Amino acid sequence: MTTRWMDNDIYGHVNNVTYYSYFDSAVNRYLIEEGGLDIHNAPVVGFIVSSNCQFKKPIAYPNAIEVGLRVSKLGSKSVTYEVAIFCEGEPDAAAIGQLVHVFVNRTDNTSTPIPVAIRAALEEIVHSPAPSGS
């Protein structure tokens, strides 16, 4: 991804709310490309019900950024993502965040099981912490 001119605020760096847009774009791109989500017609979609971000250092336009994405918790109807924003080629994250998607039936907004193809894609990026003492 790249930052955009409009992402900068009056202080000359990317505004804090813009990071959430980066997170949302990374998650949805993954669901579309790897899970086959049809954002326009799928009967089941994910709604963000919780999000947070810790800002570690500022970024600004024109930075190229890299987004790291993994799943920290995968339930039957919801998923918790961990997301990190890096300036291209830098080892330390500029921001780290967490998002929770609940999957819902598009017609009545009731929670429903995660579709099989999406679940398979999410299982591919489940983070399993190393056992204690390792």
Domain locations in the chain as residue ranges: 5-123
Whether residue 24 contacts residue 48, with contact meaning beta carbons closer than 8 Å, is answered with yes
pLDDT, residue 129, reads 73
| 129 against 96, higher pLDDT | 96
Q: How confident is the model at residue 128 (pLDDT cuts 50, 70, 90)?
A: confident
Cis-peptide, bond into residue 131, ω within 30° of zero: no
List the 78-87 sheet strands across, edge first.
44-55, 95-105, 78-87, 65-74
Q: What is the dihedral of CA 62, 63, 66, 72, to 10 degrees?
A: -100
Q: Under CATH, what is the fold of the domain 5-123?
A: Thiol Ester Dehydrase; Chain A (3.10.129)
Query: Using one digit for the tens of pLDDT, what is the confidence trace for 58-92?
Result: 999 999 999 999 999 999 999 999 999 999 999 99
- Helix ranges (H only) for the chain are 16-35, 116-123
pLDDT at 133 over 80: no
Whether residue 66 contacts residue 103, with contact meaning beta carbons closer than 8 Å, is answered with no
The sign one gets for the Cα dihedral 122, 22, 80, 93 is: positive
Q: Which of 83, 103, 85 is nearest to 35 (CA)?
A: 103
